[in-house]
Amino acid sequence: MPQSPGNPQALFEGAGLPPRDERYVLRLYVTGMTSRSARAVNNVRALCDEYLVGRYDLEVIDIYQQPVLTKGEQIIAAPTLIKKLPLPMRRMIGDMSNRERLLAGLDLVGARDHAE
């Protein structure tokens, strides 16, 4: 729904949201294919498929299989989701089952209200 100057509340609520065409670059660090890792992958994919259709890149990195890819990322726990783009960069730890927290971490709070 396009925002109009006649609706100041809609403008205020949408002010913190990234533009709809902005591409998200996400990295999810997991430890093997444990149930917690699988749950994190499924939760992130489901949320992205709902809110970021066609405008996200999700790279799932198993830190046991590719430990060199964790260098410089300061991974202290897994699963860890890092939102590289759009800025600001954010980190979220856990199985990503708390949708409200994940939406806030991805700066998508209120995104459903602004979907087409």
Q: pTM value?
A: 0.78
Q: What is the pLDDT along the chain (116 residues), one digit of tens a residue?
A: 444 455 545 444 444 555 567 999 999 999 998 999 999 999 999 999 999 999 999 999 999 999 998 888 889 999 999 999 999 999 999 999 999 999 999 999 865 544 44
Domain limits of the chain?
Answer: 20-111
Cα separation values, 34 from 38, 58, 66, 78, 111, Å: 6, 19, 16, 11, 31
Q: What topology does CATH give the domain 20-111?
A: Glutaredoxin (3.40.30)
Q: Which residues pair with 93 in a beta bridge?
A: 80
